[in-house]
Structure 1
Amino acid sequence: MKAILFKIPKNDEGSIKLEEDKEPYFYGFLHYHPEIQITLILKGEGEFIIGGKRGRFKPGNLFIIGQNDPHVFLSDKIYYENNNKISHSISVFFNQYIFDRLFYDFKELQILGKFSVDFSKGIIIESTMGEIQFTFRKMFTASPLTKFQLFILLLELLNEHREKRMLNPNAEIIKSSETGDKKLSAVYEYILENFNENPSLDEAAKTAHMSTPSFCRYIKKRTRKTFTGLVNDLRIGEAQKLLSRNDRTISEIGFEVGFNNLTNFNRKFKKITGKTPGEYRAS
């Protein structure tokens, strides 16, 4: 799955861009863009990939995606097969640099500046009922000035939310470049196409056009993970998707995502998710 540089249409109305997606299934290609993205899932279920993290999404989930962070929301297979199903999300896009001065020059907004530092790590809020959803939706019918005020209020509500969780809490803040992100996207593509077999460190380095030692340093800097750690994260993400269905045993799923024994699969799964595969399936 290759990440595509996605161009957000220019917005003549102001410094933030609103977008509503309401289709049978979401845009299914790994992509990235220089804008920060905040997305609220209103309808639809499936799996997400954001940076090096993989997991499930459902209605009520809200995601903050950092600039140039490869991501995709993959609707479940049933949404491609049943035209009566709807996937619905609303998003806001904005450039970090536009707001940096605003956040730091005005004392009242400095707390939002501190919050924005974490955007590069990716953020998920599992449940967003009430004021967050109301404020987000109201932006779509507001005048430009009111829309901007609502956007600041939305950031304040998200900052104050007690159940927000960083997807990549140990990620460094790294200045992105299109060239660098194309390299990382090529690595994701290689792993996603081969994780159920045995992805090769040397082959992955070749996809990024780097020597193996340089590649190891690059992956560690970009993801705060070793290559093996990144592979395991993506494998466990796929296992979470398969465990949400009941058509295969835990052992079968472990082998399908690339683990050659059940003990190793159980250990890695619990290390990454905090639960055993059996506990995850039962929850």
Structure 2
Amino acid sequence: MKARLIETGLDANRQFRVKQVDEYFLNSPFHFHDTCEIVLIEEGYGKRIVGDHIDDFDQGDMVMMGPNLPHIWQTDNAFYHRRKNLRVKATVLYFAPAMVLGLVAGTDAAAAVEALLAKASRGLSIKQDAHARLLELFAEIQISEGLKRISLFLEALHLLAHTEDYDCLASDHYKNAMTVKDAGRFNDVYQFLITNFHREIPLDEVASVAKMSPTAFCRYFKTRTQKSFVSFLQEIRISHACKLLRRDDLSVMEVALESGYNNLVNFNKCFRNITSHSPSEYRKRMRAEAAGELIG
């Protein structure tokens, strides 16, 4: 049986809702639930795990997730110092997929909505073209009632169902194999890795977080996540390196050190294996894309 690790506030009388987040940091545990969720980050940055996908998030990120897709959003360490200039602000919309399918059943929109929900089972990172209107719609949904509220919600879904400007997150073969007990254990492991990835992490240390032997932990980790612990840790580190490479104030060696690599050759090899580019090539590509956006 799939676990509902957090309450989304939905029941038979409330089939979708919008929640505003304004906190010093994000503190939701690694979890999954039987509703769809759309998250728009208005302020803040950190790391997110959606299924077997690891990436950094930043202001303007929007992700749609289907039911029973495990995920965690964790702000970077700087947010936990409760500095006045650092806040996390987000808009989160929860909705029941059965309610949506019922509303569009027998209409021309049914096929597009069904396709959207199917793709959302992997998690979708929505590009920023639709953000402004969606944010307006979420705000209007908050203060609307009755048919007006339903109409606004359906307009938001219409925008999402007809955009092709998105990336799928979890791999196409990913399946959630976790139970309630697994999710609690992985919450501890993921938070530990996100906090400590920048330093050497002995296998026995992370295994102790899960309260397992190193051998049992490696087997357990791969069974539940469909990837090895070493691969997972490398993806966290390379995701962080990509974020740092988009800045111009750090050398490639400094990026490697801050991402948990003491050896530049090893860093270059891991980076190319995951991104298909060298760190220098990736930086040049990001600069070219940024320059093209500015010109456009």
* Gap regions ≥5 residues in structure 1: none
Paired positions, count? 275
Deviation at 1:185, TM superposition (A): 1.8
| 1:141 counterpart residue number | 143
| 1:18 counterpart residue number | 18
Q: Distance in 1 between matches of 2:225 and 2:127?
A: 23
Identity percentage of aligned residues: 24
Specify the SS of the correspondent of 1:118: helix
Q: Pick from 151, 156, 173 the counterpart of residue 158 of structure 2.
A: 156
Superposition map of 1:183-222 within 5 A: 183-209=185-211, 215-222=217-224
Q: What TM-score do the two structures reach when normalised by structure 1? A: 0.77
Evaluate the alpha carbon distance shift between residue 81 and residue 164 of structure 1 in structure 2; reply closer, same or farther with a 3 A threshold: same
Q: Pick from 223, 232, 237 the counterpart of residue 234 of structure 2.
A: 232
Evaluate the alpha carbon distance shift between residue 248 and residue 33 of structure 1 in structure 2; reply closer, same or farther with a 3 A threshold: same
Q: Deviations over 1:91-147 (max 9, x none)?
A: 101345x44863896575244233223334222113134543443333223223332
Superposition map of 1:86-165 within 5 A: 87-96=88-97, 98-99=98-99, 102=102, 106=106, 108-127=109-128, 128-129=130-131, 131-165=133-167
Q: Pick from 247, 250, 253 the counterpart of residue 251 of structure 1.
A: 253
Evaluate the alpha carbon distance shift between residue 225 and residue 140 of structure 1 in structure 2; reply closer, same or farther with a 3 A threshold: same
| 1:48 counterpart residue number | 47
Q: Deviations over 1:7-42 (max 9, x none)?
A: 44467862112112245x442554435243201233
Letter in 2 for 1:48: K
Q: Distance in 1 between matches of 2:244 and 2:29?
A: 20
Q: Distance in 2 between matches of 1:214 and 1:277?
A: 34
Q: Deviations over 1:48-106 (max 9, x none)?
A: 312341213222x211234462312526848967636664322101345x448638965
Evaluate the alpha carbon distance shift between residue 31 and residue 220 of structure 1 in structure 2; reply closer, same or farther with a 3 A threshold: closer
Q: Is the 8 A contact 1:8 1:33 kept in 2?
A: no
Q: Is the 8 A contact 1:50 1:65 kept in 2?
A: no
Evaluate the alpha carbon distance shift between residue 158 and residue 169 of structure 1 in structure 2; reply closer, same or farther with a 3 A threshold: farther
Superposition map of 1:243-282 within 5 A: 243-281=245-283
Q: Deviations over 1:197-216 (max 9, x none)?
A: 34344554454455656644
Q: Pick from 163, 166, 169 the counterpart of residue 167 of structure 1.
A: 169
Deviation at 1:232, TM superposition (A): 0.5
Q: Is the 8 A contact 1:171 1:222 kept in 2?
A: no
Q: Distance in 2 between matches of 1:87 and 1:191?
A: 21
Evaluate the alpha carbon distance shift between residue 135 and residue 239 of structure 1 in structure 2; reply closer, same or farther with a 3 A threshold: same
* Gap regions ≥5 residues in structure 2: 287-296
Q: Is the 8 A contact 1:21 1:90 kept in 2?
A: yes
Q: CA RMSD in A?
A: 3.6
Letter in 1 for 2:267: F
Specify the SS of the correspondent of 1:170: coil
Q: Is the 8 A contact 1:120 1:173 kept in 2?
A: no
Q: Is the 8 A contact 2:64 2:125 kept in 1?
A: yes
Q: Deviations over 1:173-207 (max 9, x none)?
A: 32653222112223213423443334344554454
Q: What TM-score do the two structures reach when normalised by structure 2? A: 0.74
Q: Distance in 2 between matches of 1:84 and 1:49?
A: 22
| 1:58 counterpart residue number | 59
Evaluate the alpha carbon distance shift between residue 195 and residue 129 of structure 1 in structure 2; reply closer, same or farther with a 3 A threshold: closer
The alignment status of 1:72 with 2:62, answered yes or no, reads no
Q: Is the 8 A contact 2:198 2:258 kept in 1?
A: yes
